Chain A
Amino acid sequence: MINKDFCVCILTHGRPDKVLTYKTLLKCGYTGEVYFVVDNEDKTVDRYRENFGDERVIVFDKKAMADSTDECNNWDYRKVGVHARNACFDIAKKLGYTYFIQLDDDYTAFKFMIDTKSTENCGDRKSIKNIDKVFDLLLSYYKDNNFLAIAMAQGGDFIGGINNGVGSYRFSKRKCMNSWICSTKRRFKFIGSFNDDVNTYTILGSRGNLFLTIPLVSIDQPATQSGKGGMTEAYKLTGTYIKSFHTILMHPSSVKVAMMRTQNIRLHHSFDWKYTMPMIISDVYKIF
């Protein structure tokens, strides 16, 4: 890594022997610093320390973080990821980093997603070999612009192919999910104990804050609710009905729920971007 002011924070809970993201990072050639962000209500903290070393396992006070977060409900239910996301800003700052990427713990690949102009082969989807370089490129763009966060794409963005016949990378680039590149100098708070990523980019984005997805790189992870630990228990407890409605509660003017007809049919949030995010336009339209 050229950027020494950057680290990776893997947000993990109850999976000390199955932090897939760490293995995947190493496989992709990552040589920078990695920290494992674990909460103090996780019974497997000692096992994390055994596996990754005391200095790399950072334990935060989950109840304290919950008390300072808008969870969008009053259930006092903390088996969710939003608190780790919010804790990362202080953790990175204390460790002496300005920039960090927060990753979930279940990524099985970091990939290039390259459009080959063909709708038949879904493009080139190959593992990144030098992820240091990719992180440096993403960071360079992030540092040069006033984004609150940017992210890599995720597998589901490419349903229908990289080029789906209508065009390449047809999902909105104004979203930000999963792999958030953030700065301790551009702090913001994740919102809601469910759908925290969508709530956050929707609400803050609608107020003119910038988020972006870079579509040529992507993470892969197992189908939602298929693994033990992490958010699976929370989703199984309430279903995606509750999850999706958190975003409607927070932004009722543009968010709806709709059936997501994938292999695992479920309710999912749905919104029209033109009713949600202020447009970015060139300064040629501005009268100076």
Chain B
Amino acid sequence: MKQIIMFPAVVKETRYSTGIEVPVYEPKNRNPSVYELYDNAKAMNLIARINESSLPEQEKRFLIQAAYRHVVFNYELIADFYAHANKEVQELMEESALVIIDFNKAIELGYVKVCEDIKHQYMEDYIGDIQDNGGNDDQ
């Protein structure tokens, strides 16, 4: 999962990394074909074998439903597809939880804030006690 770095933090100590990598995906410009969003080769293979079998219809139906567990969804491409889709498709995708919408950047900004707050807590705990190397509390 490729993630994006946003909002470089304001930290006085230049010794520390200033970027926080947020767990939010940035959709790409390319609109993928709907056929790229999933790989059902294994499921179709299983279903073909089930259909060729002499099992009772009800058992076939069960096994066919179970075969769909092997469909591989590419959620990065699905997010790219969502970003180019119309309102109706988007709503159906949301209902099926194919993407998670970060409303008002609550997840993203909250994540940056909690990481920054932890970093500040660290500096508060260890102010004046920070060395370039060594001094770590390893077991």
Interface on A for B, CB 8 Å cutoff?
Answer: 108-109, 111-112, 114-117, 120-122, 124-130, 133-134, 137-138, 140-141, 144-145, 163, 167-169, 172-174, 207-208, 210, 212, 214-217, 220, 251-254, 273-283, 285-287
Interface on B for A, CB 8 Å cutoff?
Answer: 1, 3, 15-17, 19, 21, 23-27, 69-76, 78-79, 82-83, 86-87, 90, 94, 97-108, 110-111, 113-115, 117-119, 121-122, 125-126, 130, 132-139
Top-6 shortest CB links A-B: A208-B97, A279-B25, A279-B79, A115-B17, A173-B23, A273-B1
Q: Is the CB of A115 within 8 A of B16?
A: yes
Given the known interface contacts A116-B17, A281-B99, the answer about A134 and B69 at a Cβ–Cβ threshold of 8 Å is no
Q: Is the CB of B86 within 8 A of A287?
A: yes
Residues of the B chain whose Cβ atoms lie less than 8 Å from the Cβ of A127: 137
Q: Is the CB of A276 within 8 A of B75?
A: yes
Residues of the A chain whose Cβ atoms lie less than 8 Å from the Cβ of B74: 274-275
Report the bound CA distance from A122 to B137 in whole Å: 12
Q: Is the CB of B104 within 8 A of A280?
A: no
Q: Is the CB of A216 within 8 A of B75?
A: no
Closest to B116 in A: A216
Residues of the A chain whose Cβ atoms lie less than 8 Å from the Cβ of B133: 120-121
Q: List 6 contacting pairs A-B, 8 Å CB cutoff, sorted by A.
A: A117-B17, A124-B130, A129-B125, A167-B21, A279-B27, A279-B75
In-complex Cβ contact of B107 among A124, A137, A274, A280 (8 A): A280
